[in-house]
Structure 1
């Protein structure tokens, strides 16, 4: 184990397994449901603003997304959304909550290879039950020494987690697909931040990359992680 790095944090959604694609497909289903009331881009734009406003009440995840779809439907129909449409929205939310987990390329091999040399910590935000379900179905849980499901990811979050489960943020790395949640606050806490872009990223997770930080790295996928770890261990 390299002295400069002892703990590696991994984001879950769209880093270890697919997630955003199911939100996009459900949003398309929702737009089709309200096609008589507004254009798809209008529906999507309004839904995004409702989601943004509701984060403080519902947090992240499918349940909050479902409630935001219902609120959007009520607004765009002037409160006259049919009960059948509400039932369809609720059904779409349940479908998301029971969708099989699809792990991303190189995930299992990478975790298996690293778990003997580093403390691996899963750090994810969202609905507790749904994140626990996905972790259990993924079969990846045994690779992690700790699992933290948090309401928000901030510099203070990473400082606390890497102190609790490692040797402090300075000797830790956070890997994820969200610059806003996984990378920028982890670097602010003193950790390495390794950005692995996903083809789909929620609009509310977009910020500028911290290119000037010496602890920022971007990789194509997890297959490139070993070379980076060797570099850091020097």
Structure 2
């Protein structure tokens, strides 16, 4: 049975368009370039993941945080700060992240077009404001949403503020995204419903377990399946 007249709040990166796959390509190129003499790729990646987790807390998300983390990883694994030449090479590897085009996930544009005639749509994305705004503009999807909110973090307080700012009824509001850590669990803790749309390229630091017994979380296989529920 389809739900009528709901508020649907959408995540952006890796829900509406591909994002982390670009970061993963940069990281794979970096690990090849690093070519550590004693650590294999898995071990070196574990070090980088740890550094990224700390930098995300201190410096937020996005390409700037990744560049900082890659340089920090060089410093830790090579025993000294990255040189100017090394930083230039890392920046060249990561230049793809500044491209102005985005790749929409299959079915997104068509699905939003239909959902926008049935429901009230909002967009909630985290990261560097200029970087996220660039991607929103490049996607040409902004007209589907009553409001676009760009935040530094998606935690329980963020969702409480979202509910208050937009005068939402949590029982009729749904957070839709690919990240259990940022989209599903904190939204549920704030009293909202949630829809999990998995993406096999979701950043490893966004993974966590969902409660299979939570009947206020819908788990889908694809974005287009939203039309079967809303």
- TM category (shorter chain) comes to over 0.9
Structure 1 residue 5: Cα displacement: 4.8
Which residue matches 2:52?
A: 51
Residues 14-56 of structure 1 show CA distances to partners (whole Å, capped at 9, x for unaligned) of 1000011111100011111111444222221111000111122
1:6 to partner: Cα distance = 2.6
- State the match for 2:128 in structure 1: 127
CA-to-partner distance for each residue in 1:181-233, whole Å, 9 max, x for gaps? 1011111112111001101121111111122212011001122112222xxxx
Q: Answer whether contact 1:7 1:121 (CA < 8 A) is retained.
A: yes
RMSD, aligned α-carbons: 1.8
- Aligned residue for 2:145? 144
TM-score by length of 1: 0.91
Mapped contact 1:174–1:183 kept (Cα < 8 A): yes
Structure 2 SS opposite 1:116: helix
User: TM-score, normalized by length of structure 2?
Assistant: 0.93
- Partner in structure 2 of residue 115 of structure 1: 116
**Residue deviations 1:53-84, cap 9 Å, x none?**
11222111110011010010111111164432
Contact 1:63–1:93 (Cα < 8 Å) also in 2: no
User: In structure 1, how many angstroms separate the alpha carbons of the residues matched to 2:191 and 2:153?
Assistant: 18
- Which residue does 2:179 correspond to in 1? 178
Q: Hey, what does 1:232 align to over in structure 2?
A: none
Could you report, residue by residue, the CA deviation over 1:128-185 in whole angstroms, capped at 9, with x for unpaired residues?
Answer: 1111011101110110100111111122212221332243222100110001110111
How many Å separate the matches in 1 of 2:121 and 2:107? 16
Q: How many residues align?
A: 228
User: C-alpha distance in 2, partners of 1:99/1:73?
Assistant: 28
Gaps in structure 1 of 5+ consecutive residues = 230-234
Structure 2 partner of 1:221: 222
Partner of residue 17, structure 1 = 17
Alpha-carbon deviation of 1:116? 2.3
